[in-house]
A and B are shown apart, each in its own frame.
Chain A
């Protein structure tokens, strides 16, 4: 009899554990949604509704489109537990390539293809070379960040800013931006959740050894992840170019950090793994853009914006409970 009681107790304990776990699993992914709602609500109030004025909505969508598209590509890389700090430099060179090719009289598509080739080779270097050389991808991407910055400076040597009179009207249309964002989101959602690409990258991020011993070609899927991101970077570079129809050596600067912050705020675990979600990209990018935009709009002095941002950032990270080893390896 005693034994039976003990067994029942154990079972109760296990059930409790499971229910706590399952509550957490259900609620944790909701936090970024709450974060987005909170950010919208706060700035809607502090800006007296100006946040959603037609003009400002256009700006928010425009800024969020480019960032979201890059973040959606970066989801694959981040789910591997890898980082890429060469995104900013890559965006910069892409826009320079595009603008120079357009100015030579070729159509935009030629410029895009050139940018695509460049972004894909960045991806290839980060994905493949790092494997061959046995380096973490952050090292190769740091290398590319320096090289890219140098190339940007070289191209813009004569005139600091290169401009074009190409007509970007379509790319500046809000409906077109939203349409593109929806298309990219759907493709990424499909690849990430319903094909082996996402399943494998998440598995590699969670446990590289177990993944490769289960038949996952780690080398191949690392490269695929970086290539997908390369494609998205090239696409986003057109939206970035279209904003001012110009490019300088500062274009794209710090973009890799924006991507990282957006993904963290959106709930992406930095170590990658099974808990990675593609929605982190969309949520994070919009939270980040609205945050930046809303702060300026509510009249926070430009000098104080970084401080306020940092506080909001750390608060969101603490709320999402991003501590090392959420699930204990046991």
Chain B
């Protein structure tokens, strides 16, 4: 690296813990002028935590940061933005119900006010000028923001976040929600910022993108910095190896392309209307994995909830093995298992032990004569499943709250396998799970398919849907937008157009 380049931001010995989980351990990085620094790592490796500390979203437990030679202690994201470090977030962050201009200048209304009255006209003109300066011509500042789709709103957000004072721009997995043209817009902007002798911190899990955009990469694993790579040293294999700490092998996702399944229908949506989802049709057979993809908020989560009887169906039917599903208890009795995305609030009882949680759905099966539930039988049941899933714990009486995300997820799988369910609805099954556990989850899911279980896999990660499913159903704005069969040629970019 060229040492004559000036250091813009220096981060030293940052530590951050969330309860028993260590998110960052003695982390230090230097960001120099003109750099586009990629931060890569698995979920939970601490990359987003690091970025959010730099951008003032949260505070570190210990450690110091220096920005342009001065101590950097941002009190909030807005404070940080004024001082010169801005962050674009993963989630949608615009205010609906008001105009584009009001979104662009939220918090800066004083600039346009006279005697306490805000001149909307002035604001709109300034908004249009601002949008034009970024080369965004198709958005009008005076329009209501609700007229624009997800991608345009993201652009508005970017325009709002990047000011002339921005010295460092943090981009946190923003591109997952953008189409090709949106991505190009962002790449150009990033390049421009770097050319102006400023810097960009770029977070993404898309390897191709990292290789294309960044000129230096920092790899994190479990809260530690594993290493820094300059442009010439970057290649997917090295980066992946550094991320995981071992060879992952080829068998990450399902390796077969055999999409055959039983003829028997396990779960069927017949012109079903529920929540905001309209007229949804789907047939899930035994031994089949169907993936449901889309943006969060597209209604795809409601599909899983409806099939488990958690949502009222306003018209049409959802049938399990030929009979209508009446509520969640009925669904469970008929062999449906539901693994919620909100693991800590919906799927598990955190203050309960591993045994309590694994046994809970199986209590009717564990009950003997005179309502008796043998503590020994219960423990044995939990122990068998804990061993089967190799859940890392002292013993089955350990509290769930002390387990890592991956092990918690194993528990929420184990409780349904223990119940003997044969239809699995998984909502983001690998969310917040480290790569090793992820791999074993994928193997488990592939195994479940072989055993003839029907699987509905709802996920925001297109790569895992492509890797695992026999068929992928894309959801856009509460409607089915495409059905795609499993194939070797399928790429993420082929699916993105159906979700935005």
Contact = CB atoms under 8 A, between A and B. Distances in A.
B349 A274 contact: yes
Interface string A186-216: 0000010111110110010011011111111
A210 B348 contact: yes
Contact of B415 (A22, A196, A200, A214): A214
Interface string B58-88: 0000000000000000000000000000000
Contact of A213 (B19, B346, B372, B373): B346
Interface stretch (B37-45, B253-261, B361-369): B361-369
A210 B19 contact: no
Interface stretch (A31-39, A54-62, A95-103, A322-330): A322-330
B415 A327 contact: no
Contact of A17 (B20, B345, B371): B20
Interface in A164-204: 191, 193-197, 199-200, 203
Contacts, number: 107
Contact of B344 (A21, A203, A329): A329
A203 B346 contact: no
A304 B377 CA distance: 53
Contact of A195 (B224, B347, B351, B367): B367
B310 interface: yes
A275 B328 contact: no
Contact of B373 (A6, A194, A326): A194
Nearest to A326: B351
Interface string A263-301: 000000000011100000000000000000000000000
B20 A209 contact: no
B393 to A, nearest CB: 9
B372 A210 contact: no
B18 interface: yes
Contacts of B15: none
Contacts of A197: 371
Given A214-B415, A215-B361, A327-B351, A199 B373 contact: yes
Contacts of B340: 213
Nearest to A198: B373
Interface stretch (B396-404, B450-458, B471-479): B396-404
A14 B333 CA distance: 38
Nearest to B222: A10
Contacts of B361: 214-215
B373 A195 contact: yes
A212 B349 CA distance: 11
Judged by DSSP, the binding face of B is mixed
A330 B356 contact: no
A244 interface: no
Given A199-B373, A213-B338, A327 B363 contact: no
B18 A330 contact: yes
Interface string B1-40: 0000000000000000011111001000000000000000
A160 interface: no
B329 A215 contact: yes
B364 A196 contact: yes
B500 interface: no
A3 interface: yes
A196 to B, nearest CB: 5
Contacts of B356: 199, 203, 274
Contact of A217 (B245, B329, B398): B329
Interface residues of B, number: 44
Contacts of B328: 212-213, 215
B329 A195 contact: no
A299 B333 CA distance: 62
Given A203-B352, A274-B349, A17 B402 contact: yes
A109 interface: no
A21 B308 CA distance: 36
A328 B402 contact: no
A18 interface: yes
Nearest to B393: A18
B390 to A, nearest CB: 16
Nearest to A7: B222
B375 interface: yes
Contacts of B353: 274
B350 A211 contact: no
A199 B345 CA distance: 18
A214 B340 CA distance: 11
Contacts of A203: 349, 352, 356, 360
B332 interface: yes
Given A18-B394, A199-B373, A203-B352, A210 B245 contact: no
A95 to B, nearest CB: 32
B345 A210 contact: yes
A328 B19 contact: yes
Nearest to B226: A3
In this complex, the member of A22, A209, A214, A275 whose beta carbon has the largest number of chain B beta carbons within 10 angstroms is A214
A213 B333 CA distance: 12
A210 B352 CA distance: 11
B398 A18 contact: yes
A326 B402 CA distance: 13
A6 B224 contact: yes
B372 A327 contact: no
Interface string A70-97: 0000000000000000000000000000
B371 A195 contact: yes
Contact of B372 (A18, A194, A200, A330): A194
Interface in B307-345: 308, 310, 328-329, 332-333, 338, 340, 344-345
B347 A210 contact: yes
A330 B343 CA distance: 10
Contacts of A206: 349-352
B22 A327 contact: no
A299 B338 CA distance: 62
Contact of A3 (B245, B347, B398): B245
Interface in A102-123: none
Contacts of B375: 193-194
Interface in A7-48: 10, 13-14, 17-18, 21-22
Given A196-B363, A329-B401, A330-B20, A213 B351 contact: no
In this complex, the member of A3, A17, A194, A275 whose beta carbon has the largest number of chain B beta carbons within 10 angstroms is A194
B401 A327 contact: yes
Given A21-B399, A214-B415, A215-B361, A330 B21 contact: yes
Contacts of B347: 210, 213
B401 to A, nearest CB: 5
Nearest to B305: A213
Contacts of A275: 351
Contacts of B310: 213
The 3 A-B residue pairs with the shortest CB-CB distance, nearest first, are A330-B19, A195-B371, A215-B332
24 contacts: A17-B402, A18-B394, A194-B372, A194-B373, A194-B374, A195-B372, A196-B371, A199-B363, A203-B352, A203-B356, A203-B360, A206-B350, A207-B351, A212-B328, A213-B310, A213-B338, A216-B360, A274-B352, A274-B356, A275-B351, A326-B351, A327-B401, A330-B344, A330-B401
Interface of A: 3, 6, 10, 13-14, 17-18, 21-22, 191, 193-197, 199-200, 203, 206-207, 209-217, 273-275, 326-330
Given A21-B402, A216-B360, 14 more contacts: A6-B25, A18-B402, A194-B371, A194-B373, A194-B375, A197-B371, A199-B356, A203-B352, A207-B351, A213-B308, A213-B340, A273-B351, A274-B352, A327-B350
